[in-house]
Amino acid sequence: MDTKETVLDILATLTGEDWHHALDDDLFASGMLDSMDTVQLLLELQDQLGVTVPVSEFDRSEWNTPNKIIAKAQA
């Protein structure tokens, strides 16, 4: 599975929604992710993709859409 599909699967698990057609929707503004979900997202990204982001350095504006998360995970 590629990075995009892995990220979208993680988001689907966390939110119960399919994000394939909403890649630029704001996950936080829509209420789909909260602070607890953010921690879980970061843990899953680390476990599944090896992406390490300390919670203290997490900036929502850089991780607020599926496309931004995918881009960060591929960096």
Q: Which CATH superfamily is domain 3-74 in?
A: ACP-like (1.10.1200.10)
Mean pLDDT over 1-13 rounds to 96
Q: What is the pLDDT of residue 2?
A: 95
Query: How many angstroms separate the CA atoms of 43 and 51, rounded?
Result: 9
If we measure between CA atoms, which residue out of 21, 34, 44, 20 comes closest to residue 64?
Answer: 34
Mean pLDDT over 35-59 rounds to 91
Continuous segment of H or E residues that includes residue 68: helix 66-74
Contact present, 74 and 40 (Cβ < 8 Å): no
Tokens 């909403």 found at: 22
Q: What is this structure's pTM? A: 0.92
Average pLDDT for the chain: 94
